[in-house]
Amino acid sequence: MNTEKSSTGRTWILFIVSTIVLLLMIVWVPQWFWLALPFSLTFLVQAMRVM
C-alpha cells in the first residue's frame, strides 16, 4: 500500500529548469552539456512517474 502522496508539479518544474540549463550549456559550452543531461532525464522520468 502506497500512502505517500507525491506531487509531480515540483518535479515538472525541476525538469523544465534543468532542460533550460541543458540548452544554455549546448549553446555556450557544448563540450560540457553532458553534465546537465542526467539531471534533465532523471527529472523527466520522475515527473512521468516511471521511476
Q: What is the pLDDT of residue 8?
A: 87
Q: What is the pLDDT of residue 5?
A: 53
> Is the pTM higher than 0.95?
no
The backbone region for 7, taken as left when phi is positive above 0, alpha when psi lies in -120 to 50, beta otherwise, is beta
> Can you tell me the distance from the alpha carbon of 33 to that of 24, in angstroms, rounded to the nearest whole number?
8
Q: What is the pLDDT of residue 7?
A: 79
Q: What is the pLDDT of residue 20?
A: 97
Run means of pLDDT, 10 residues per run, the chain, 51 residues: 66 97 96 94 95 80
Per-domain residue ranges of the chain: 9-47
Q: What is the pLDDT of residue 1?
A: 45
